[in-house]
Chain A
Amino acid sequence: MDQVTESKVIGVATPRIDGPLKVSGSAMYASDHHFPGLLYAWPVCATISNGTIAHLDTAGAEKMPGVVAVYHRENIGKLYRVPPSTGFTLILDEKRPPLEDDTIRYYGQYVAVAVAQTVEQARAAAESVKVTYNKEKPDTGEKLLGTPLTTDKPDEKSKRGDTAAALQAAKVKVDAVYRIPVETHNPIELHASVAVFDGKKYTLYETSQAVVNHRDVMAQMLGVPTEQVQVITRFLGSGFGGKLWPWPHGLLAAACARNLGRPVKLVVSRQMMFESVGHRPAIDQRIQLAADADGKLTAVQQDYVNHTSMLDDYNEGCGEITPFLYSTPNLLVTGGLVRRNVGNPTAMRGPGAVPGLFALESAMDELAIALKMDPVQLRLKNEPALDESLNIPFSSRHMKECLTVGSEKFGWAKRTPEIGSMKRDGLTLGWGMAACSWLAARIETEATVELLQDGSARVACGTQDIGGGTYTVMAQVVSHETGIPVNRVDVVLGDSSLPPGPISGGSWVTASMTPAVLAASQNAGKALVLAAIKSDGSPFKGKKPEDLELVDGTVRLKGQQQGAVPMAEILRIAKVNSVSGTGKSDSTFGAAKPKVSFHSYGAQFAEVTWQPEIARLRVSRVVTVIDAGRILNPRPARNQIEGAVVMGVGMALFEETMYDPRSGAPINNNLADYVVAVNADTPEIDVTFLDYPDYQLNALGARGVGEIGLAGIASAITNAVYHATGVRVRDLPVRIEDLLVPANRTTHLA
């Protein structure tokens, strides 16, 4: 497909077309749906994390006012597992259907569900179900490295050269363990499901980042053909990965609707969201770096272990970025899993890369200090010429420019490396930085574009807009190709019955969806040209398709402004309501032998202020430079990066889900005790996009910006904390207690 270089819409800051709906409360999210006869479901959650159900007594609950049913293992009815799949289909993390057996493997596992006429009645009934357990000692142990793995030995993820020998021979070395605690996605929209069953077909209003996969999984688990399930997510209150794959509550809602023949709404409580809808797992990573005296890396080794649940294997993939970020002849990445009594972990914004880069970029900072070298220089020095893990070229990599532009914008040249040496207004300053990267990919996508007689266009794709601005970008692409203004483009998405679109994950919606929409728009244009040359009364009747062109919403003879006819007029002449075209894009994701290495890059610079007198640490300033291909709509793109920086402040300083070792309960299971960054925590944020189109990925040169902004931030902040305080925090988040130790001491894992 021809490269798109010039455009009046692409790359232009465009207000979101769904903005007015969102600011007026009219955008319909899953739990906003209501139907006549709607019932409410409230799950009963296990209060142990290891053991079995001894006795479950629903008699009292069933007699409570308004209660319609209480379901448990014996009366929920048939629910199936999904068959194993080799491709990128039928994905879910927790494969056991809810209520399948009486064994409890994590705190909050559903053991029953009450259904009643009001939400208050359902909740009261659920709380009245009496459950006794045979309780066993749970294992939620935080230490991971060195504890028994699920496999005999760790998996080798990437390898080149002889790392062991190079580490042994090294002049300068870093060897340290970095730890990420459990982090919980906590989108503000609670997970929810409104299930409608008409005796044959299920219509499921879901909080889903992947409606097509969700439909396929639900059909399998309910035991019906796919065409009997439709999944709808018109608006999603974000998800950050937590809403990518179906969770047990959705199946409970659908089963209740099936059993009762009435619509059922189930909204997961904030407390339950710490238990049964996924989290970023706890991760230990040992990083070993070796370098010459002049800072050239000679070896990189990363050994990570993440926790997973008792039944399912979730691998965080922390070595995703390590193999190609820097040039080094010797490299080894290994990964392993350990089982804990926790709900299933899942992808959380920047899975693998975000925790991996916290460790790697912290270690690079430690290496720079050991070398007495500037950390920016150390990274510039180790810039690779190609992707050394696969020996293939990069599609478009501008890491050096990210580093140099970032340095300049931040004022890095003014940095004095001595600990605590920089002051402003009586505060000690810490300056730290980190490099970052995130994958770029296309996955299979189909889209349809229709041009209508009323002068509007309609574009449909079974993808989702989770807040990234997909509605608007789809309209921009159609507008670019057809000349129909953005506000006359009707965008339809978030419905599994539409042409299958990409999951909202991996930051690849834009890269996958836009080429399909562009092709669909072009094909719709061809259909219009056909109407122009075939229809009686058309001034172009009898011409050849190649004689005509579509420019600014009109059909005309090539190169001739005169005699141009609006597209809508052609349709009126042809007496048809609409013409349409479909477009597809193929997948680069998971290619067996890729020829180019597709990634986005960036550099993060952070400033912290430190007041040792009162142990007050704040992140005051972040400069971030992002090389993520061409930015199609700078407004939501900048918003994405800023939001990721905000999340990174939380990751560095606040976020940690804590489990009570006796019960296995996540004890800070609410938004007061699990602290996320609020408005007052937001630093001054300066975002720069380098805006180099990646034409090898698609004709628009677009990659994606959903995740890269979070990559590297936590380490930029902890590196700045070290610079201010002399305390190296390797165990997130940075706690006040960490900073109360004397300077030049490092914190250690227990």
Chain B
Amino acid sequence: MGAAGVATAATAVTPLAVSAAIAETQERTVPQAQAITGTMPVTLKVNGQSHSVQIDPRATLLDTLRETLHLTGTKKGCDHGQCGACTVHINGRRVNSCLTFAGMQQNVEITTIEGLGQPGHLHPMQEAFVEHDGFQCGYCTSGQIMSAVAMVKEPWGTLDSDVKEAMSGNICRCGAYPNIVAAVQAVRRMA
């Protein structure tokens, strides 16, 4: 539903005085819809779904996911490949989406935290993070979980210290590391 649709729906149920205010707002906020100058068409396959969108050729995969596809589960912590908050999977491998141009990822399978599992049917790694309290603020968590899911399939040893090393590209400023290790190890032991 476009912005106009929202306006209609809102007006239908809103008392007169308020709807006038909304109409005024909508008038100010509507102009968009038409393609933004300087953008180009791309088709991205995210979480098994194909999206054909117009993006700025400079757009990173991270900004495209967040700002164009509104998949905001993937977070931006540095935009420089230094924190891991933006970790997604490309063909099953973990990648920093802030270091990846969206325009170059048209023929690959992209998986984000939203595609991993949602409340009610969480992925075992997501369950383990809840169970082991593997976060505080939760902002690094999508990246931690995407990294962890990929890490489990990588050739690491079985020790806690292997997990700590493998997960050191994902900064958690809240410092929930002991619990992150516990969550990842619980999933690795299950597998």
Query: Which A residues fall within an 8 A CB radius of B?
Result: 15-16, 18-29, 31-32, 34-37, 40, 65-66, 117-121, 124, 186-190, 198-200, 235-238, 240, 261-263, 267, 269-270, 466-469, 635-636, 639-640, 642-647, 670-672, 676-680, 682, 685
- Judge whether A120 and B59 touch: CB under 8 Å: yes
Considering only CB atoms, which chain A residue lies closest to B170 in the complex?
A679
A236: B residues at CB distance < 8 A: 137
- Judge whether B137 and A23 touch: CB under 8 Å: no
- Among B141-164, those with CB < 8 Å from A are 141-142, 145, 161, 163-164
B109 within 8 A of A: no
Considering only CB atoms, which chain A residue lies closest to B72 in the complex?
A32
- Judge whether B56 and A121 touch: CB under 8 Å: yes
Considering only CB atoms, which chain B residue lies closest to A20 in the complex?
B119
In the bound complex, what is the Cα–Cα distance between A263 and B75 (angstroms)? 21
B8 within 8 A of A: no
In the bound complex, what is the Cα–Cα distance between A18 and B136 (angstroms)? 10
A270: B residues at CB distance < 8 A: 77-80, 82
- Judge whether B139 and A29 touch: CB under 8 Å: yes
Partner of A682, one of B114, B118, B164: B164
- Judge whether B29 and A261 touch: CB under 8 Å: yes
B36 within 8 A of A: yes
Considering only CB atoms, which chain B residue lies closest to A237 in the complex?
B139
The 6 closest A-B pairs by CB, nearest first: A25-B73, A237-B139, A646-B175, A643-B175, A22-B138, A467-B137
- Among B124-147, those with CB < 8 Å from A are 126-127, 129-131, 133, 135-142, 145
- Contacts A23-B141, A37-B3, A269-B79 known; list 7 others, CB within 8 Å: A23-B113, A25-B74, A117-B37, A118-B56, A188-B77, A270-B77, A270-B79
18 contacts between A and B (CB under 8 A): A15-B131, A16-B130, A20-B130, A25-B142, A28-B72, A36-B6, A37-B3, A118-B67, A188-B171, A238-B174, A270-B79, A636-B136, A643-B175, A671-B78, A671-B83, A672-B82, A676-B173, A680-B168
Query: Which B residues fall within an 8 A CB radius of A?
Result: 2-3, 6, 21-22, 24-25, 28-32, 36-39, 56, 58-59, 63, 66-67, 70-80, 82-83, 85, 112-114, 116-120, 122, 126-127, 129-131, 133, 135-142, 145, 161, 163-165, 167-181
- Judge whether A636 and B178 touch: CB under 8 Å: no
Partner of A262, one of B28, B36, B179: B28
- Judge whether A24 and B118 touch: CB under 8 Å: yes
Considering only CB atoms, which chain A residue lies closest to B130 in the complex?
A19
Partner of B113, one of A25, A643, A685: A25
In the bound complex, what is the Cα–Cα distance between A77 and B113 (angstroms)? 41
Considering only CB atoms, which chain A residue lies closest to B74 in the complex?
A25
- Judge whether B56 and A120 touch: CB under 8 Å: yes
A710 to chain B, nearest CB (A): 10
- Judge whether B138 and A34 touch: CB under 8 Å: no
B117: A residues at CB distance < 8 A: 24
Considering only CB atoms, which chain B residue lies closest to A200 in the complex?
B21
Partner of B39, one of A24, A118, A263, A682: A118
- Judge whether A34 and B139 touch: CB under 8 Å: no
Q: Is the interface of B mostly helix, strand, loop or mixed?
A: loop
Considering only CB atoms, which chain B residue lies closest to A22 in the complex?
B138
Asked, given contacts A25-B142, A642-B179, whether A119 binds B67 with beta carbons under 8 Å apart, the answer is: yes
In the bound complex, what is the Cα–Cα distance between A307 and B12 (angstroms)? 58
A31: B residues at CB distance < 8 A: 66, 72, 76
In the bound complex, what is the Cα–Cα distance between A263 and B117 (angstroms)? 31
- Judge whether B175 and A261 touch: CB under 8 Å: no
Asked, given contacts A267-B76, A270-B77, whether A65 binds B38 with beta carbons under 8 Å apart, the answer is: yes
Choose among B32, B120, B165 the residue with the greatest number of A CB atoms under 10 Å from its CB. B32
B76: A residues at CB distance < 8 A: 31, 190, 267
In the bound complex, what is the Cα–Cα distance between A238 and B167 (angstroms)? 20
Considering only CB atoms, which chain B residue lies closest to A645 in the complex?
B175
B112: A residues at CB distance < 8 A: 25
Asked, given contacts A21-B119, A36-B29, whether A235 binds B138 with beta carbons under 8 Å apart, the answer is: yes
B21: A residues at CB distance < 8 A: 198-200
- Judge whether B173 and A187 touch: CB under 8 Å: yes
- Judge whether B38 and A121 touch: CB under 8 Å: yes
Partner of B3, one of A36, A469, A685: A36
B73: A residues at CB distance < 8 A: 24-26
Choose among B21, B67, B119 the residue with the greatest number of A CB atoms under 10 Å from its CB. B67
- Judge whether A37 and B137 touch: CB under 8 Å: no
In the bound complex, what is the Cα–Cα distance between A282 and B145 (angstroms)? 36
B56: A residues at CB distance < 8 A: 118, 120-121
Considering only CB atoms, which chain B residue lies closest to A186 in the complex?
B173
In the bound complex, what is the Cα–Cα distance between A645 and B133 (angstroms)? 17
Partner of A679, one of B36, B135, B168: B168
- Judge whether A18 and B70 touch: CB under 8 Å: no
Considering only CB atoms, which chain A residue lies closest to B142 in the complex?
A25
Partner of B32, one of A36, A188, A636: A36
B132 to chain A, nearest CB (A): 9
- Judge whether B173 and A644 touch: CB under 8 Å: no
Choose among B74, B79, B116 the residue with the greatest number of A CB atoms under 10 Å from its CB. B79
- Judge whether B136 and A680 touch: CB under 8 Å: no
In the bound complex, what is the Cα–Cα distance between A199 and B22 (angstroms)? 9
In the bound complex, what is the Cα–Cα distance between A194 and B13 (angstroms)? 26
Considering only CB atoms, which chain B residue lies closest to A207 in the complex?
B139
Considering only CB atoms, which chain B residue lies closest to A709 in the complex?
B175
A468: B residues at CB distance < 8 A: 136
B169 to chain A, nearest CB (A): 8
- Judge whether B78 and A670 touch: CB under 8 Å: yes
B66 to chain A, nearest CB (A): 8
Choose among B6, B74, B85, B133 the residue with the greatest number of A CB atoms under 10 Å from its CB. B133
- Judge whether A23 and B129 touch: CB under 8 Å: yes
In the bound complex, what is the Cα–Cα distance between A29 and B141 (angstroms)? 13
Asked, given contacts A25-B114, A26-B119, A238-B136, whether A642 binds B24 with beta carbons under 8 Å apart, the answer is: no
Asked, given contacts A24-B73, A24-B117, A37-B30, whether A120 binds B63 with beta carbons under 8 Å apart, the answer is: yes
In the bound complex, what is the Cα–Cα distance between A187 and B25 (angstroms)? 35
Considering only CB atoms, which chain B residue lies closest to A261 in the complex?
B28
- Judge whether A188 and B126 touch: CB under 8 Å: no
In the bound complex, what is the Cα–Cα distance between A589 and B38 (angstroms)? 55
A265 to chain B, nearest CB (A): 8
A713 to chain B, nearest CB (A): 11
- Judge whether B178 and A635 touch: CB under 8 Å: no
In the bound complex, what is the Cα–Cα distance between A117 and B75 (angstroms)? 21
- Judge whether B29 and A66 touch: CB under 8 Å: no
In the bound complex, what is the Cα–Cα distance between A253 and B126 (angstroms)? 35
A117: B residues at CB distance < 8 A: 36-37
B29: A residues at CB distance < 8 A: 35-37, 261-263
B39 to chain A, nearest CB (A): 7
A680: B residues at CB distance < 8 A: 161, 164-165, 168
Asked, given contacts A120-B59, A642-B179, A676-B173, whether A24 binds B114 with beta carbons under 8 Å apart, the answer is: yes
- Judge whether A467 and B138 touch: CB under 8 Å: yes
- Judge whether B119 and A189 touch: CB under 8 Å: no
Asked, given contacts A118-B59, A647-B175, whether A15 binds B137 with beta carbons under 8 Å apart, the answer is: no
